[in-house]
Amino acid sequence: MIFENVSDLIGGTPILGLPLPSYNSMLLLKMEKNNPGGSMKDRMARSMVEAALQSGRLKPGGVVVESSSGNTGIGLAIAAIDRGLRFIAVVDHHAAPDKIAVMRALGAEIRYVQGEYAENEVAVVERQRLAAELAEQIPGALFMNQSDNPANPAGYAGFVREALAQTQGRLDAFVGCVGTGGSMAGIARGLKQHRAEITTIGVEPCGSIVFGQAGHPYYQSGTGTPKGDTVGLVVDYASIDLGVQVSDAQAFETARYLARRKGILVGGSSGGAIYKALELIHSGRLRGQVLTPVADGGEKYLHTVYNEDWLRERELLDPRIAANLSRWLS
């Protein structure tokens, strides 16, 4: 098929299977990094813009404003181009520089929040405050507020349809990251509507507060809810069977391991979800066909997650993690 808009390329991402014969299981990686903006957030960005235009909250030629660590911003930049809109991304120092560069290349206007923050501290509260303020000040602007926007989880209906078709409906578990909670809510609800017995696991960084643990700074980007922020309204705890945490070292070493051993460049948060999926399979808590999205690609983290000096300076290197992965994937 020949498409006319970049947004039409969203979806249809392939699945790569990693056989785990020792556990009578298969880890299925849905390669969401193959979306045009390089992440699964393209799906929800398109959904939010379309819903806002259809409802009249956003007018033709209007301005989209959103707080983003990068991937949602890239998706919104693409959606804005296709629909003749202006896009302003509100970011902080925690966003990967390569993501900000991509947004700028796509014509997005970048606004940094002000204030003193630690390197591993996410300034999401200030980002959201500034985004809401800009939307009030700029004529024709709308703050998308992805954390509370019902069009966020609605954007993943296509993911569910594709995954069920690709696996002929034979799925036993889903393991995904929880940031705003939109992807987890939309996918988990959709899969359980197909078959209620599918186990759904939500993964957040150690230091995130989504599942009630004590908050502290973390380096994983675009996932979790940091201390001081409020868990978004789109998080659907009823659709999540188990919430778990993954350390920065586990997430990043898994990403590096998959690059060296499997030739797959995945983002840090995807590394965390994959690590927990393998750990749960190893422990016997999960069996069968386990689906995990590669939410974005490692190409955006070459100077951090894939930089050994950067990891060493932050004491994020742990050879025991690679040893676990070798044992589980052998």
Model confidence at 45, in pLDDT bands (50, 70, 90)? very high
Contacts of 187 (CB under 8 A, 6+ apart): 156, 159, 160, 163, 174, 176, 200, 293
Longest Cα–Cα distance of the chain, Å, equals: 60
288-328, pLDDT tens digit by residue?
999 999 999 999 999 999 999 999 999 999 999 999 999 99
- 318 within domain boundaries: yes
Query: For residue 66, with 0-12 CB atoms within 10 Å meaning exposed, 13-18 middle and 19 or more buried, which class applies?
Result: buried
Are 52 and 58 in contact by the 8 Å Cβ rule? The answer is: yes
- 195 within domain boundaries: yes
Which residues are annotated as catalytic?
Answer: 41
**Same domain, residue pair 194 and 143:** no
Average pLDDT for the chain: 96
- 60 within domain boundaries: yes
81-93, pLDDT tens digit by residue?
999 999 999 998 8
**Same domain, residue pair 226 and 283:** yes
- 124 within domain boundaries: yes
Question: Does pLDDT of 62 surpass 80?
Answer: yes
pTM, two decimals, is: 0.95
**Same domain, residue pair 25 and 126:** no
**Where among 148, 171, 200 does a domain terminate?**
148
As a whole number, mean pLDDT of residues 105-133 equals 90
- 1 within domain boundaries: no
**What does the alpha-carbon distance between residue 139 and residue 14 come to, in Å, rounded to a whole number?**
41
**Same domain, residue pair 192 and 122:** no
- 155 within domain boundaries: yes
**Same domain, residue pair 94 and 202:** no
- 261 within domain boundaries: yes
**Same domain, residue pair 178 and 255:** yes
Question: Does pLDDT of 121 surpass 90?
Answer: no
Higher-pLDDT residue of 114 and 155 is 155
**What does the alpha-carbon distance between residue 35 and residue 271 come to, in Å, rounded to a whole number?**
18
**Where among 130, 148, 166 does a domain terminate?**
148
**Same domain, residue pair 29 and 97:** no
**Same domain, residue pair 218 and 297:** yes
**Same domain, residue pair 73 and 198:** no
Are 309 and 279 in contact by the 8 Å Cβ rule? The answer is: no
Q: What is the CATH number of the domain that holds 138?
A: 3.40.50.1100
- What pLDDT does residue 95 have? 79
**Same domain, residue pair 297 and 203:** yes
Bridge-based pairing state of the strands 288-293 and 199-205: unpaired
Are 139 and 66 in contact by the 8 Å Cβ rule? The answer is: no
**Same domain, residue pair 26 and 164:** yes
Domain coverage including residue 233: 6-35+151-324
Q: Where are the beta strands (DSSP E) in the chain?
A: 15-20, 25-30, 63-67, 86-91, 109-112, 141-143, 173-177, 199-205, 242-246, 288-293
**What does the alpha-carbon distance between residue 251 and residue 219 come to, in Å, rounded to a whole number?**
10
Question: Does pLDDT of 69 surpass 90?
Answer: no
As a whole number, mean pLDDT of residues 51-64 equals 97
Question: Does pLDDT of 122 surpass 80?
Answer: no
Question: Does pLDDT of 94 surpass 90?
Answer: no
**Where among 109, 127, 148 does a domain terminate?**
148
- What pLDDT does residue 119 have? 81
- The tokens of 76 are what? 């919104």
Total number of domains constituting the chain: 2
**Same domain, residue pair 288 and 155:** yes
- What pLDDT does residue 255 have? 98
- 330 within domain boundaries: no
195-224, pLDDT tens digit by residue?
999 999 999 999 999 999 999 999 998 899
